Amino acid sequence: MFDSIAPRYDLLNHVLSVGLDQKWRRRAVRELQLGAVPRVLDLCTGTADLAFAAVEHHAGASVVGVDFSGAMLRFGLGKVRRANMSGRIRLVRGDATRIPLANASCDAGTIGFGIRNVAEPQRALAELGRVLRPGARLAILEFGQPRIPGIRTLYTWYFRYLLPAIGKLVSRHRSAYSYLPASVGTFPPPAEFAKTIESHGFVSVRAVPLTFGIVYLYVATRR
């Protein structure tokens, strides 16, 4: 699915979120509290927007982006080359449940709108626990559901009906943008997901609602 929507993925992200997606990524990166020359892992990196947010935020940071979609990575690689960032962003094809990196080799980790798509999220969290060094910060962005009743109703209408229609028209993929609300609907509530993160070797786990809870930012520290 991600291979076939890759050409329009960035455009749709920015349009469907009215530009908020970049703001959410920048917020996630700020929570990493990066040290001098940090090595950041961006899991499910897709077209590398979160990797870019990390290197733009911190002049000394380098990022390894891992994703299993060759087409998403190709678009990401094009962006990396055009921005002359090959020395700071490296993109690697790999599975989130078998991260191709050594134990405790990363100073921070991120996942942007990816954990919901991983078939075995528990294994991906266990892998993050393995590759992040003790004390490393983890920031995960994932969609949520607004808590304020009026906003929730409006947003639900947008997310269930308008977004899939625009997504289908622009991406020309029959179901990818109907899958989005469906998968968000089955993702665990914030408190439950925070507990899942904790159970994989992380402490000080927080679930921070962004933009009325449309998105949640999960922040944690590797024990």
Ligand X SMILES: C[S@@+](CC[C@H](N)C(=O)[O-])C[C@H]1O[C@@H](n2cnc3c(N)ncnc32)[C@H](O)[C@@H]1O
Q: Segment contacting ligand X (CB under 6 A): 106-114, 153-161, 169-177, 214-222?
A: 106-114
Nearest to 122 by CA among 200, 182, 65, 69: 200
Q: Counting beta carbons within 10 angstroms of the beta carbon of residue 135, is it exposed (0 to 12), middle (13 to 18) or buried (19 or more)?
A: exposed
Percentages (nearest 5) of helix, strand, coil residues in the chain: 50, 25, 25
- To ligand X, the closest distance from the beta carbon of 39 in angstroms equals 18
Residues between 125 and 164 that touch ligand X (CB under 6 A)? none
Amino acid at 194: A
How many residues sit close enough to ligand X to count as binding (CB under 6 A)? 19
Length of the chain: 223
178 is an interface residue for ligand X by CB under 6 A: no
**Residue 46 binding ligand X, by CB under 6 A:** yes
User: How buried is 40 (Cβ within 10 angstroms: 0-12 exposed, 13-18 middle, 19+ buried)?
Assistant: buried
For ligand X, give the closer residue by CB, 97 or 178.
97
Closest CA to 144 of 106, 98, 185: 185
Among 89, 96, 194, 214, indicate the residue that binds ligand X (CB under 6 A): 96
d(CA 84, CA 62): 13
Tokens coding 52: 């870019």
Decide whether 67 or 107 has the Cβ nearer to ligand X.
67
- Show the site string, 1-40: x = touches ligand X by CB under 6 A, - = not: -x----------x---------------------------
Residue nearest ligand X, CB atom distance: 46
Region binding ligand X by CB under 6 A among candidate stretches 27-35, 113-121, 127-135, 188-196 = 113-121
Would you call 58 exposed, middle or buried from its count of C-beta atoms within 10 A (0-12, 13-18, 19+)? buried
Does 45 contact ligand X by CB under 6 A? yes
- Choose, by CB under 6 A, the member of 97, 178, 196, 211 that binds ligand X: 97
User: By CB under 6 A, is residue 114 in contact with ligand X?
Assistant: yes
- Name which of 125 and 194 has its Cβ closer to ligand X: 125
Q: Which residues bind ligand X (CB under 6 A)?
A: 2, 13, 44-46, 49-50, 67-69, 72, 95-97, 112-114, 117-118
